[in-house]
């Protein structure tokens, strides 16, 4: 039974959905779908372990949303057609079997695509070559190509595709909710980021303009899934290809971003930082989680970032989080909740798990 950390094991709410505890698995791309983006039996067994291990919520890896430019990696699962969405259903059943809830993360790569079976080339808010290099463990190599600037029609099409993918996730996949991937350098974050969005139309300019695609996506997803289904959005400062990025507008930017997303009708905001408890800007001040709590009243907050130590996790509940999401901590301890409630030791993360390719390893499906 839970002992030292009772609040971690108390029920939590996101929108209308009650979670058995505050512990979530963070979205993690493991490139183990078929080439066609259909989820596999290996994925079912991998995801089931987290629910069996006591997590109250499993957020899936990012699934691509259309058969155009959204696919990010080869062997990434999709939610772009009925076959892909239906393929998620046994995984959702396996997650439900042990009492956890299942949320599908939906994603568009934008300029960071490094493996797309549908189209050649990449698209983005502006034709700016991404910083950094492609990820080897997702079969990429060398610099990212320079993307083509999206047309207004393409932006509208992507907004609609997020909605369609969300509807497929709920109707065919059986998911309890959806999370829009607005973080970590992918398409929606490319719109939000000043140096990758050089547009002068309604999708660019100041923070409101740069956030407007995310707002429209949130509305499109809400419209597609209805009022009762939880809808969340993930937000970060850092990116997979620009780890240390900080919002130049600092707290005023955070106020606008979180306030606007709350007004757009999301049920939760998933805030991810490298170390979630650290000041969001500069050497001191509030964490990004506590700023989200402050500026998005009434919206549930999920905190992520190096929170595998239960003392830290508890601290973030005190800082305003409703749910704690673990990434690498869940990979090395798929039964983290059971271990912590049973006073058992935790394993440290072993990078070899993701080498040479980040696909699901045999040891993870026992």
Residues tagged active-site? 186
Cβ closest to ligand FMN, residue 127 vs residue 353: 353
**Pick 94 or 135: Cβ nearer ligand FMN:** 135
Q: What are phi and psi of 325, to 5 degrees?
A: -105, 130
For the CB of residue 61, give the shortest distance to ligand FMN in the complex, in Å: 4
Minimum Å distance from CB 147 to ligand FMN?
20
CA distance 236 to 251: 14
Cα-based distances in Å from 111 to 122, 130, 158: 5, 7, 14
In angstroms, give the least distance from the CB of 205 to ligand FMN.
26
Measured at CB, which residue is nearest to ligand FMN? Answer: 327
Nearer to ligand FMN, 43 or 307 (CB): 307
Which residues 6+ apart lie within 8 Å of 38 measured at CB? 77, 78, 83, 84, 87
Whichever of 34 and 146 has its CB closer to ligand FMN, that residue is 34
CB of 290 to ligand FMN, least distance (A): 18
Question: Site residues (CB under 6 A) for ligand FMN?
Answer: 26-29, 61-62, 105, 181, 183-184, 234, 272, 304-307, 326-329, 354, 358
Closer residue to ligand FMN (CB): 103 or 168 = 103
Residues 6+ apart with CB under 8 A from 137: 354, 355, 356, 357, 358
Supply the minimum distance, in Å, between the C-beta of residue 275 and ligand FMN: 8
Alpha-carbon distance values, 236 to 246, 271, 276 (Å): 9, 6, 10
Bridge pairing between strands 17-19 and 57-64: unpaired
């Amino acid at each position: 039974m839970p002992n030292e950390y009772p609040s971690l094991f108390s029920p939590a709410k996101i929108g209308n959905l009650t979670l058995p505890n505050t512990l979530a698995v963070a979205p993690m791309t493991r490139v183990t779908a078929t080439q066609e983006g259909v989820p596999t039996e290996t994925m079912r067994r991998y995801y089931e372990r987290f629910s069996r291990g006591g997590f109250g919520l499993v957020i899936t890896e990012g699934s691509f949303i259309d058969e155009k430019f959204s696919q990010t990696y080869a062997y990434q699962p999709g939610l772009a057609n009925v076959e892909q969405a239906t393929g998620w259903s046994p995984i959702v059943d396996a997650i439900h079997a042990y009492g956890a809830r299942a949320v599908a993360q939906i994603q568009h790569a934008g300029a960071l695509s490094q493996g797309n079976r549908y189209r050649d080339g990449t698209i983005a808010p502006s034709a700016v070559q991404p910083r950094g290099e492609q990820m080897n463990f997702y079969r990429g190599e060398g610099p990212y190509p320079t993307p083509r600037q999206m047309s207004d029609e393409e932006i509208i099409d992507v907004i609609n595709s997020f909605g369609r993918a969300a509807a497929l996730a709920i109707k065919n996949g059986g998911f309890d909710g959806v999370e829009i991937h607005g973080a970590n350098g992918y398409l929606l974050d490319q719109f939000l980021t000043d140096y990758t969005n050089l547009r002068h139309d309604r999708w660019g300019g100041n923070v409101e303009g740069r956030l407007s695609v995310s707002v429209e996506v949130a509305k499109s997803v809400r419209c597609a899934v209805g009022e009762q289904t939880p809808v969340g959005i993930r937000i970060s400062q850092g990116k997979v290809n620009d780890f240390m990025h900080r919002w130049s507008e600092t707290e005023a930017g955070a106020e606008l971003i979180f306030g606007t997303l709350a007004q757009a009708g999301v049920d939760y905001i998933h805030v991810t930082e490298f170390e979630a408890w650290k000041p969001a800007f500069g050497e001191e001040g509030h964490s990004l989680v506590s700023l989200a709590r402050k500026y998005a009243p009434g919206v549930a907050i999920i905190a992520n970032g190096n929170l595998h130590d239960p003392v830290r996790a508890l601290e973030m509940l005190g800082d305003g989080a409703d749910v704690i999401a673990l990434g690498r901590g869940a990979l090395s301890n798929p039964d983290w909740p059971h271990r912590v409630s049973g006073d058992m030791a935790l394993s440290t993360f072993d990078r070899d798990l993701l080498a040479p390719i980040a696909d699901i390893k045999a040891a993870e499906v026992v």
